[in-house]
Amino acid sequence: MTTLQTDPGMEFLAQRVDGDPAFGCIQCGTCAASCPLGAAMEYPPRQLILQARSGNLDKILSSASLWMCVGCHTCSSRCPRGIELADDLWPALRDRAMQEGIQPPAELQETFQNIFKYGNSLGESARKRLDWAKELDVPLRDLSKEPTAVEVLWLVCDYPSYYPRNQVVTRDFARVLTALGVRWGVLGNKEKAVGDCDRLYGEEGLFEMLVENNKKLFDKYQFEKIVTLDAHSYRALEHFYPRYGAEYPVEHYTSYLADRLDLLKPLLTKPVKATVTYHDNCCIGRRADIFDQPRMLLEAIPGVKLVEMARNRENALCCGGGGGGMWLDGHIVEHGGQRLSDQRVRQAAEVGAEVLAVSCPLELSRFEDSTKVAGLENKLLVRDIIELLAESMDLGEKEKQ
């Protein structure tokens, strides 16, 4: 019988999956049943392992299923054998497919090329990295121009730097940090993409290049910790960078602010009267167990009534934007899958929420688009936790517009 271990085609996988727990798969099917896109996959996770084990590597490498995982990590978090399907197995297979010349979906190719050429997933000019700060009303320390020791090296990341809806949140965060008296700085035009929690959706060579370049860059500056708004960057820095010898103290903004709640609370003076539900993103939630801190921040805001969706915390439904999903909607829908964000906004509306609070930069545009699809535009507002904090501190930009 051909097993994963004896199949020469799978040797690479044995090296990749740490401690090779893939060999310990008991085919229980928990992964396939948990996968929000499993029903649309030709090879859902359990099948994928079975086929790989049986030596049918070619079948799975050329299958559309390989590009339907949105990295939600539900399978990995529930697997009784602790197999890292989302973070290790799936990316390793995608990498292998690309090495064999199998082409990833076109939109994702373009994203890879953007990151390689421009250092950001949006294909924007590096010179426009700081455009978000053009009308900023608090002082900004651009460390690339004036290198100085700071408490917080704020990695602004791609969407918060470039995407207009996110830029509002970015400016609000600058105001909140400044109001807290934090000495913060950014890398200005020198900043490049961090990568992602699943090693860039399988593009491991690109991820490795980013880590090497970022390590050289970060090592030039003096800071106590890195803070980022980007849940994907947070997870990459916290979990994957150390594998390449790049270790930095890093926090997602929710846990960073929750630790400073004593300082923050007296500043939260203006009531924000709204029924709010929080969407646990997959990178800080299921992957890093940061479930309480975002809720602590929301509950500290006067006027906020926090309600929970039926699927919350480790059971939360993904927005569909991870694992490269941000650039795979077309591929997934073409192959019979659904945009998970469309389902998620309906779940928020079902519990009477007026505001869907988020803490990952990919979610603002995904959920706002979905409210339009679901007929919830102007009924369900999508807002980052930072915006709600800033509003309560009377610093918020959106409600002033």
Nearer to another protein, 47 or 111 (CB): 111
336 scored as a contact of another protein (CB under 8 A): no
330 scored as a contact of another protein (CB under 8 A): no
Size of the site for another protein (CB under 8 A): 23
362 scored as a contact of another protein (CB under 8 A): no
Binding pattern for the stretch 262-301 against another protein, x by CB under 8 A and - elsewhere: ----------------------------------------
Distance CA 316, CA 319 (A): 9
Site for another protein, residues 202 to 241, rule: CB under 8 A: 203-206, 208-209
Using the rule CB under 8 A, give the single segment among 66-74, 121-129, 185-193, 318-326 that binds another protein: 121-129
374 scored as a contact of another protein (CB under 8 A): no
DSSP string, 144-199: TTS---EEEEEE--HHHHH-HHHHHHHHHHHHHHHHTT--EEB-GGG------TTT
Q: Which residues contact 1 (CB under 8 A, 6 or more apart)?
A: none
116 scored as a contact of another protein (CB under 8 A): yes
372 scored as a contact of another protein (CB under 8 A): no
Q: Which of 43, 67, 90, 112 binds another protein (CB under 8 A)?
A: 112
Burial grade of 183 (CB within 10 A; 0-12, 13-18, 19 or more): middle
Distance CA 122, CA 339 (A): 20
Distance CA 327, CA 331 (A): 8
How far are the Cα atoms of 3, 89, 90, 343 from residue 46, in angstroms, in the given order? 15, 12, 12, 24
37 scored as a contact of another protein (CB under 8 A): no
42 scored as a contact of another protein (CB under 8 A): no
CB 229 within 8 A of CB 255: no
Min separation Cβ 236 and another protein, Å? 16
How big is the CA angle at 57 (ends 26 and 317), to the nearest 5 degrees?
55
Q: What is the β-pairing status of strands 250-252 and 355-358? A: unpaired
123 scored as a contact of another protein (CB under 8 A): yes
CB 366 within 8 A of CB 321: yes
Site for another protein, residues 48 to 107, rule: CB under 8 A: 95, 98-99, 101, 103-104, 106
- The site for another protein (CB under 8 A) is made up of 95, 98-99, 101, 103-104, 106, 109, 112-113, 116-118, 123-125, 127, 203-206, 208-209
